[in-house]
Amino acid sequence: MNDLQITGVRALQILDSRGYPTVKVWLTANDGTISVASAPSGASTGAHEAVELRDGGAEYSGRGVEKAVDNIRGEIADLLTSRSWGTLADLDQALVSLDGTPGRSRLGANAIVAVSMAAARAFAAAAGAPLHVWIGQRLGRGGRLPVPHFNVLNGGQHAANPLEFQEFMIAPAGAPSFADGLRWGSDVYHALAKRLKQQGLATGLGDEGGYAPAIARPEEALDLIVAAIEDAGYTPGRHGIAIALDPAANSFYTEGTYTVAGRAHSTDQMIHYYEKLIADYPIWSLEDPLAEEDTDGWPALTAALGNRVQVVGDDLFVTSADRVRDGINTASATAVLIKPNQAGTVSETFDTLTAAAEGGFGAMVSHRSGETDDTFVADLVVGAGCGQLKSGAPARGERVAKYNRLLEIQDENPDLPYGPTGTHLNDQ
Ligand SMILES: C=C(OP(=O)(O)O)C(=O)O
Ligand SMILES: [Mg+2]
């Protein structure tokens, strides 16, 4: 394969789906091919994830990213055009070395991840392969279309309602194909709106396109969703439409106590609470059920529930291969959420996917709550072959862009299998 020679670098501050500034990058290769990528942005971030560079301060806000853009136009462009690149791993490593900080705070994780994503596209284009095929080759995996996890009801830091749990997702595991699963999800999404209206609840949306009604108890949300699945004519459960939760427990944990709908829970009580939810509702996956700093709680929860549901670390692992290996050694979870901008580069994201697979962990690829029309995660999940994606509701342009890209991939590759392997979604 020929080396990649980058001859042009363009960067711009654009807006993400929340209307906050983010970074867009264009890389031109010497054959004239232009590869584009945009950085997403999280709101409920883990303490250890790579750090966005924001003008005037690193914490999340609507502040500008002009400095990050300037870094791409300056130092990063100089690096990228200074030599040819044999592999993405070399290019990413050079970016990480140029930054020189563990958290990517000098040049900005938003600048670096956008460049890395665009570079991955440039390598794929140079190889004449679709991005998902090129990614599959890098990871040594066969392609697979994911079960989409639609976040249909929003709370936590993604909505202004009193619901502490952040994400209530529906997963059409029993659908015969990705395209059918997408239709099933959209049917339930619309049935849920009807239910909410019937009950006098608001149908305004949270950041990821799910409804954000003024309810506080997770059970109320789950009752509404199960009813909507049935209203739409589907069967709740792993043979039909299962439920996945991302409570994002960091945000309702203080000094050893989890507060849910006005009630305080110790870690043990929280584990019992999830046990009851799992018994009462067709929940198959639990992401960030406990806070990232509750390090004794995670193995206890996984020992208690890990044979019944998938236990996913997001803020706990922040897409870091080292943290995933620790999690495997301590049996702290059974799967990892994969967000390239937490890891910092695409190559590090690949390393984390590999570490997870080597340790028998599952993986779910994920968007961020602040998104753009970039569809990188759709190709990533197919190439990774892990069979699970969350990209928000089956509505709102920045969310459906990913689902629509998967429809294209399915259409172009009708033999790709659908769904995860080796997870609880295949049980029963
Ligand atoms: C997608 C998520 O939200 P954010 O992007 O705000 O971290 C999440 O917590 O899984
Ligand atoms: Mg999460």
Q: What is the DSSP string of 315-373?
A: TTTTT-HHHHHHHHHTT--SEEEE-HHHHSSHHHHHHHHHHHHHTT-EEEEE--SB--S
Q: What is the reported pTM?
A: 0.97
CATH topology of domain 138-427: TIM Barrel (3.20.20)
Annotated ligand binding at 59? The verdict is no
Q: What is the DSSP string of 45-65?
A: --TTSPPPP-TT-SSSSS---
Q: What is the DSSP string of 148-170?
A: EEEEEEE-GGG-SSS----EEEE
The CATH code of domain 6-128 reads: 3.30.390.10
Question: Could you check whether 6-128 and 138-427 share the same CATH topology?
Answer: no
C-alpha gyration radius of the chain: 21
49 touches ligand 1 (CB under 6 Å):
no
Q: Which atom of ligand 1 is nearest to the CA of 370?
A: 5
- Annotated active-site positions, please? 208, 339
pLDDT tens over the chain, length 428 residues = 579 999 999 999 999 999 999 999 999 999 999 999 999 999 888 899 999 999 986 555 568 999 999 999 999 999 999 999 999 999 999 999 999 998 999 999 999 999 999 999 999 999 999 999 999 999 999 999 999 999 999 999 999 999 999 999 999 999 999 999 999 999 999 999 999 999 999 999 999 999 999 999 999 999 999 999 999 999 999 999 999 999 999 999 999 999 999 999 999 999 999 999 999 999 999 999 999 999 999 999 999 999 999 999 999 999 999 999 999 999 999 999 999 999 999 999 999 999 999 999 999 999 999 999 999 999 999 999 999 999 999 999 999 999 999 999 999 999 999 987 777 776 54
371 touches ligand 1 (CB under 6 Å):
no
Q: How far is 260 from 291, CA to CA, in rounded Å?
A: 13
Residues 6+ apart with CB under 8 A from 170: 149, 150, 152, 185, 188, 225, 229, 241, 242, 243, 244
Domain-wise residue ranges, the chain: 6-128, 138-427
45 touches ligand 1 (CB under 6 Å):
yes
Annotated ligand binding at 105? The verdict is no
Distance (angstroms) between ligand 1 centre and the Cα of 206 equals 12
Which-ligand-closest: CA of 45?
Answer: 1
Q: How far is 215 from 260, CA to CA, in rounded Å?
A: 12
State whether ipTM is beyond 0.90: yes
